[in-house]
Structure 1
Amino acid sequence: MPRPVWSGSISFGLVNIPIKLYNAVKKKTLHFHQLRKSDGCRIRLKRVCANDGSEVPNEEIVKGYEISPEQYVVLSSEEIENVYPKSSRRIQIDDFVRLEEIDPIYFEHSYYLTPDKGMEKAYSLLLFAMKKSQKTAIANFVLRNKQYIAAIRPTENAITLSTMFFSDEIIPQKELEDLPSIENEPDQRELTIALQLIESLSSNFAPEKYHNEYREKMLSMIERKAEGQVITQQPAAEQGGKVVDLMAALEASLAALKKKTPAKTRRKKAHA
């Protein structure tokens, strides 16, 4: 049973709804420990001075911000705490916008919001109102001494909250090199084939269709090694080369897809 990571309230206008915040995502990342090869002893990392290599105890460690190479401004714990954002236990809604106006690049981490006891009616009112208006709320709040902006939106029976990056955290595309210019329009024949290829690969999004193949293979290998099986070397994956003839590659891709797709399905798509 998941546990709330934060509790507070949503405020919009004069309406205040006490809520609980739950993680909506459980990352399944594989973690490895460092061991000594000879006997499997666990390796512990120490905090050492870069100048003389001596170990530094926790009470002698302070925080410093590098302002130039090897030049730091040292800050005490009290000084840092003085400028921490004030935790108000309130998610303050500032605006309502359309979800499609938000570039997904801004989304960071997702949570579920659930009503506190006795607040189901007010919670449902906000949920249904947001569904009816097809709007997403933009809010700000403080979590673990860090200030966030967030997108709050309705999903089935729950309200979800996604923390977002601030605008100055997003790298502008103008800083990237070698991007094609807007005037660089594709050849019309190539574009037509590319659109057909996209249409042939189009379907409804089904998240359960996709799997973390690396994690599954790694866990399988770990299980087999734990049982004493010998692991053989896997063949190296083929590396894709540069496309020399774009039109030929597009046509070959489309032809390969047509061979995989049953004729009945192709007729349905063509009719549509």
Structure 2
Amino acid sequence: MARSIWSGAISFGLVNVPIKLYSAVSKKTVRFHQLNGETGNRIQQKRVDPETGEEVAYENIVKGYELTRDRYVLITPEELETLDPEKTRSIDIEDFVDESEIDPIFYDHPYYLVPDKGAAKAYGLLLNAMADAEKTAIARVVIRQKEQLVAIRPHRDGDLLVMETMVFADEVVGADELDGLPDSKELSVSDRELTMARQLIESLTDDFDPGKYKDEYREKVLELIEAKAEGQEIAVQPEAPAPAKVPDLMAALEASLAAVRGDEQEEEAKPKRKSSSGGGARAKKKETAKS
């Protein structure tokens, strides 16, 4: 059972909606420790002064902001504490905007907002009003001594509000800062190329099912760990060949469409099974590909 990590209230106008905050994701990263390859002992990380070679006690470590090489401004914890945002238990809504106006690049980490005891009616009012207006709220909240910019929106698949922390505008790398971007002439394509590319996209179009996408690398790492723990020998896989450059865009599009249509003909040739409610998307996909 998930546990709430923060509690407070959503504030808009003079209305307060008590809520509990839950993380909406739980990362499944496989973590490794550093060991001595000869002894198998776990490595200890030590803070060492590079000039004296002596280990520095934790209480003697201070924060420093680098101005130039080997020149720092020292900042004490007490000085930073004076700048901490006011500790509140409020998510203060500042604006309501259309969700389509927010580039997903601004989103950082998702959370669920659940009504606290006795707050279901006020929560439902905000949820339904936002869903009816098709709006997303932009708000600020202080979590773990850090002020966060957040977006709050109705969840697409349930009677629930979702909150996502956001990066600030000056933290987003602008496209104008990238090297090697092609100009509009280089991006131009013929009508025939565009038509075939759209046919390929439509033939591969299906309903989004997040459960069908797996972290295959993580699964292979766990299988490798299990196999080695059981004493199995592991064969080193050869390096994958570099992808070949596509010399002819039209030939690649035609070959891709032919491959997709060939797969669909094989599916149609298989013995028919009783239809189920899950076949609508696949039927739609085939129908689109033939058009």
TM-score class normalised by the smaller sequence:
over 0.9
Give the aligned CA root-mean-square deviation in angstroms.
1.6
Question: Residue 163 in 1 paired to residue 182 in 2?
Answer: no
Question: Residue 96 in 1 paired to residue 96 in 2?
Answer: yes
TM-score between the two structures when normalised by the length of structure 2: 0.89
Residues 92 and 140 of structure 2 are in contact (CA less than 8 Å); yes or no, is this contact kept in structure 1? yes
Superimposed CA distance per residue, residues 191-227 of structure 1 (whole angstroms, 9 cap, x where no aligned partner): 2211111111111111001000010011011111112
Q: 1:260 aligns with which of 263, 277, 285?
A: 263
Paired with 1:267 and 1:60, the residues of 2 have a C-alpha distance of 68
What's 1:132 paired with? 132
Paired with 1:35 and 1:244, the residues of 2 have a C-alpha distance of 48
What's 1:205 paired with? 208
Paired with 1:92 and 1:231, the residues of 2 have a C-alpha distance of 55
**Which aligned pairs between 1:213-252 and structure 2 lie closer than 5 A?**
213-252=216-255
Matched residue SS, 1:9:
strand
Mean Cα displacement is larger for which, 228-237 or 259-268?
A: 259-268
What's 1:182 paired with? 184
Residues 202 and 289 of structure 2 are in contact (CA less than 8 Å); yes or no, is this contact kept in structure 1? no
Paired with 1:99 and 1:107, the residues of 2 have a C-alpha distance of 12
Superimposed CA distance per residue, residues 56-101 of structure 1 (whole angstroms, 9 cap, x where no aligned partner): 1011100011122221110011001111111211100111111111
Paired with 2:7 and 2:183, the residues of 1 have a C-alpha distance of 48
Structure 1: 5+ residue runs without aligned partners? none
Superimposed CA distance per residue, residues 147-194 of structure 1 (whole angstroms, 9 cap, x where no aligned partner): 111110111121110000000000110111121223442122222211
Mean Cα displacement is larger for which, 235-244 or 209-218?
A: 235-244
What's 2:279 paired with? none
Mean Cα displacement is larger for which, 192-201 or 56-65?
A: 192-201
The one-letter amino acid of 1:98's match is D
Question: Residue 269 in 1 paired to residue 288 in 2?
Answer: yes
Paired with 2:106 and 2:160, the residues of 1 have a C-alpha distance of 21
Paired with 1:259 and 1:235, the residues of 2 have a C-alpha distance of 30
Paired with 2:11 and 2:153, the residues of 1 have a C-alpha distance of 14
Matched residue SS, 1:225:
helix
* Count of matched residue positions in the alignment of Structure 1 and Structure 2: 272
TM-score between the two structures when normalised by the length of structure 1: 0.95
What's 2:38 paired with? 38
Residues 22 and 113 of structure 2 are in contact (CA less than 8 Å); yes or no, is this contact kept in structure 1? yes
Residues 25 and 110 of structure 2 are in contact (CA less than 8 Å); yes or no, is this contact kept in structure 1? yes
What's 2:7 paired with? 7
Paired with 1:270 and 1:197, the residues of 2 have a C-alpha distance of 8
CA offset at residue 270 of structure 1? 5.0
Residues 261 and 289 of structure 2 are in contact (CA less than 8 Å); yes or no, is this contact kept in structure 1? no
What's 1:86 paired with? 86
Matched residue SS, 2:184:
coil
The one-letter amino acid of 2:58's match is N
The one-letter amino acid of 2:119's match is M
Residues 203 and 286 of structure 2 are in contact (CA less than 8 Å); yes or no, is this contact kept in structure 1? no
CA offset at residue 248 of structure 1? 1.4
What's 2:117 paired with? 117
What's 2:196 paired with? 193
After superposition, the Cα gap between the structure-2 partners of 1:202 and 1:54, relative to the gap in structure 1 and judged at 3 Å, is same
What's 1:173 paired with? 175
Paired with 1:230 and 1:241, the residues of 2 have a C-alpha distance of 33
Paired with 1:158 and 1:50, the residues of 2 have a C-alpha distance of 53
CA offset at residue 241 of structure 1? 2.2
The one-letter amino acid of 1:250's match is L
Mean Cα displacement is larger for which, 190-199 or 53-62?
A: 190-199
Paired with 1:187 and 1:250, the residues of 2 have a C-alpha distance of 13
